[in-house]
Amino acid sequence: MLNILESDPEKMLRQFAEHYEATFEEGLGAANLKLNNVNGKGHISLFQPFDGVTAWAYGICLNEDLKFNLTFSSNKLLYLGIVVNGYQLHKYSNENSYH
């Protein structure tokens, strides 16, 4: 299980890269994880079009299910995730089952 504490988006993506032994590249307002090993294949990209907004784009296939605990700060108002292909299960800490 990967435990991630919400922080700077680049730091969060770096935690994923370290966990999966992936390549991590960082630039001005953007970062990219590239994975091609026994853990899976694909990429996770993020960019910040302006202060306070970060977009994450996943094009990745993992060889095992990824389970992680993500602790959000209370000052963030909105998180939006869209799954185009594949699946994502989610639950809050006070819930028993995934949706």
- Give pLDDT tens digits for 41-88: 999 999 888 877 888 888 888 898 877 777 766 666 566 666 777 777
Whether 48 is in a domain gets the answer yes
- Provide the whole-model pTM: 0.77
- Determine the pLDDT at residue 29: 83
Which DSSP helix (H) or strand (E) runs through 36? strand 30-37
Residue 77's pLDDT is: 58
41 domain-assigned: yes
29: alpha, beta or left? (left if phi > 0; alpha if psi -120 to 50): left
In a domain, 98, yes or no: no
Q: For 1-12, what is the mean pLDDT?
A: 78
In a domain, 96, yes or no: no
39 part of a folded domain? yes
Q: Is residue 95 part of a domain?
A: no
Domain that holds residue 19: 2-71
Domain count, the chain: 1
User: Would 36 be classed as within a structural domain?
Assistant: yes
